[in-house]
Amino acid sequence: MIAILFRHGKAVSAQRAGSDEERWLTEEGKEDVRRVAKCLPTPTAIYSSPLRRAKETAEILSEVFNVPYEVKEELSSGKFNLETFAKVFKPGALYVAHNPDLEEVLRGLGCEAKLSAGGAAVVNVGARKLLALLNPEYCP
Protein backbone atom coordinates (compact mmCIF):
# COMPACT_ATOMS: atom_id res chain seq x y z
CA MET A 1 0.00 0.00 0.00
CA ILE A 2 2.00 2.89 -1.37
CA ALA A 3 1.30 6.60 -0.84
CA ILE A 4 3.18 9.61 -2.17
CA LEU A 5 3.25 12.65 0.12
CA PHE A 6 4.23 15.77 -1.85
CA ARG A 7 5.02 19.17 -0.37
CA HIS A 8 3.91 22.05 -2.61
CA GLY A 9 6.63 23.83 -4.60
CA LYS A 10 8.40 27.02 -3.51
CA ALA A 11 5.95 29.90 -3.32
CA VAL A 12 6.04 33.67 -2.95
CA SER A 13 5.71 35.17 0.52
CA ALA A 14 2.33 35.74 2.14
CA GLN A 15 3.16 39.45 2.23
CA ARG A 16 3.66 39.55 -1.54
CA ALA A 17 0.53 37.46 -2.21
CA GLY A 18 -1.64 39.36 0.25
CA SER A 19 -2.44 36.26 2.32
CA ASP A 20 -1.08 32.80 3.07
CA GLU A 21 -3.95 31.16 1.16
CA GLU A 22 -3.15 33.07 -2.06
CA ARG A 23 0.59 32.36 -2.26
CA TRP A 24 1.49 31.18 -5.77
CA LEU A 25 4.41 29.09 -7.01
CA THR A 26 7.60 30.77 -8.13
CA GLU A 27 9.15 29.73 -11.46
CA GLU A 28 11.80 27.83 -9.49
CA GLY A 29 9.03 26.13 -7.51
CA LYS A 30 7.29 25.02 -10.71
CA GLU A 31 10.52 23.62 -12.14
CA ASP A 32 11.28 21.78 -8.88
CA VAL A 33 7.86 20.10 -9.00
CA ARG A 34 8.44 18.97 -12.60
CA ARG A 35 11.91 17.67 -11.75
CA VAL A 36 10.73 15.63 -8.75
CA ALA A 37 7.72 14.30 -10.69
CA LYS A 38 10.11 12.71 -13.21
CA CYS A 39 11.56 10.61 -10.38
CA LEU A 40 8.18 9.32 -9.13
CA PRO A 41 5.96 6.42 -10.13
CA THR A 42 2.67 7.40 -11.76
CA PRO A 43 0.05 7.80 -9.02
CA THR A 44 -3.42 6.26 -9.19
CA ALA A 45 -4.96 9.58 -8.11
CA ILE A 46 -3.84 13.07 -7.06
CA TYR A 47 -5.39 14.90 -4.11
CA SER A 48 -4.58 18.50 -3.19
CA SER A 49 -5.01 20.99 -0.41
CA PRO A 50 -7.31 23.85 -1.48
CA LEU A 51 -4.58 26.46 -0.99
CA ARG A 52 -3.40 28.07 -4.24
CA ARG A 53 0.24 26.90 -4.08
CA ALA A 54 -0.86 23.31 -3.51
CA LYS A 55 -3.42 23.43 -6.33
CA GLU A 56 -0.78 24.85 -8.70
CA THR A 57 1.53 21.99 -7.68
CA ALA A 58 -1.27 19.46 -8.28
CA GLU A 59 -1.99 21.00 -11.71
CA ILE A 60 1.63 20.45 -12.76
CA LEU A 61 1.61 16.88 -11.44
CA SER A 62 -1.70 16.23 -13.19
CA GLU A 63 -0.17 17.35 -16.50
CA VAL A 64 3.00 15.30 -16.01
CA PHE A 65 1.17 12.10 -15.08
CA ASN A 66 -2.02 12.64 -17.10
CA VAL A 67 -4.00 11.95 -13.93
CA PRO A 68 -6.73 14.39 -12.83
CA TYR A 69 -6.50 15.95 -9.40
CA GLU A 70 -9.16 16.52 -6.79
CA VAL A 71 -9.15 19.14 -4.04
CA LYS A 72 -9.63 17.75 -0.53
CA GLU A 73 -10.35 20.11 2.36
CA GLU A 74 -8.73 17.55 4.68
CA LEU A 75 -5.33 18.40 3.16
CA SER A 76 -5.53 22.08 4.18
CA SER A 77 -2.66 23.52 6.16
CA GLY A 78 -3.18 22.71 9.83
CA LYS A 79 -5.90 20.11 9.15
CA PHE A 80 -3.88 17.27 7.64
CA ASN A 81 -2.84 14.72 10.24
CA LEU A 82 -2.65 10.94 10.63
CA GLU A 83 -6.39 10.69 11.32
CA THR A 84 -7.39 12.69 8.22
CA PHE A 85 -4.80 10.81 6.13
CA ALA A 86 -6.45 7.53 7.16
CA LYS A 87 -9.83 8.91 6.02
CA VAL A 88 -8.63 9.98 2.55
CA PHE A 89 -6.04 7.23 1.94
CA LYS A 90 -6.24 5.39 -1.37
CA PRO A 91 -3.41 2.99 -2.34
CA GLY A 92 -1.09 4.51 -4.93
CA ALA A 93 -2.42 8.06 -4.56
CA LEU A 94 -0.37 11.25 -4.33
CA TYR A 95 -1.25 13.89 -1.71
CA VAL A 96 -0.18 17.54 -2.12
CA ALA A 97 -0.12 19.31 1.23
CA HIS A 98 1.98 21.44 3.59
CA ASN A 99 4.61 21.28 6.31
CA PRO A 100 4.69 20.71 9.21
CA ASP A 101 1.60 18.56 8.54
CA LEU A 102 3.31 16.26 6.03
CA GLU A 103 6.32 15.57 8.26
CA GLU A 104 3.98 14.87 11.19
CA VAL A 105 2.02 12.35 9.09
CA LEU A 106 5.31 10.75 8.05
CA ARG A 107 6.36 10.46 11.71
CA GLY A 108 2.99 8.92 12.51
CA LEU A 109 3.69 6.34 9.81
CA GLY A 110 7.03 5.54 11.43
CA CYS A 111 9.08 7.51 8.88
CA GLU A 112 11.40 10.36 9.81
CA ALA A 113 12.02 12.66 6.84
CA LYS A 114 12.56 16.34 6.04
CA LEU A 115 10.58 17.43 3.00
CA SER A 116 11.86 20.45 1.10
CA ALA A 117 9.38 22.60 -0.82
CA GLY A 118 8.63 20.61 -3.97
CA GLY A 119 9.79 17.37 -2.35
CA ALA A 120 8.08 14.01 -2.09
CA ALA A 121 8.16 10.97 0.16
CA VAL A 122 7.12 7.56 -1.16
CA VAL A 123 5.83 5.46 1.73
CA ASN A 124 4.73 1.86 2.12
CA VAL A 125 1.86 2.61 4.50
CA GLY A 126 1.21 -1.00 5.54
CA ALA A 127 4.87 -1.70 6.31
CA ARG A 128 5.35 1.81 7.78
CA LYS A 129 8.49 2.20 5.68
CA LEU A 130 9.94 5.16 3.78
CA LEU A 131 10.77 3.87 0.30
CA ALA A 132 12.15 7.10 -1.18
CA LEU A 133 12.76 10.72 -0.22
CA LEU A 134 12.92 12.91 -3.31
CA ASN A 135 13.74 16.52 -2.61
CA PRO A 136 14.38 18.75 -5.66
CA GLU A 137 18.11 18.89 -5.00
CA TYR A 138 18.27 15.07 -5.39
CA CYS A 139 16.51 14.87 -8.77
CA PRO A 140 18.18 15.72 -12.11
pLDDT over 90 (residue 140):
no
Question: Is residue 64 within 8 Å of residue 32, measured between CB atoms?
Answer: no
Q: What is the pLDDT of residues 18-43, one digit of tens each?
A: 888 899 999 999 999 999 999 999 99
Q: Which domains does the chain have, with CATH numbers?
A: 2-138 (3.40.50.1240)
User: How many other C-beta atoms can be found within 10 angstroms of the C-beta atom of residue 73?
Assistant: 11
pTM: 0.95
Say if residue 86's pLDDT is above 90.
Answer: yes
pLDDT value at residue 52: 97
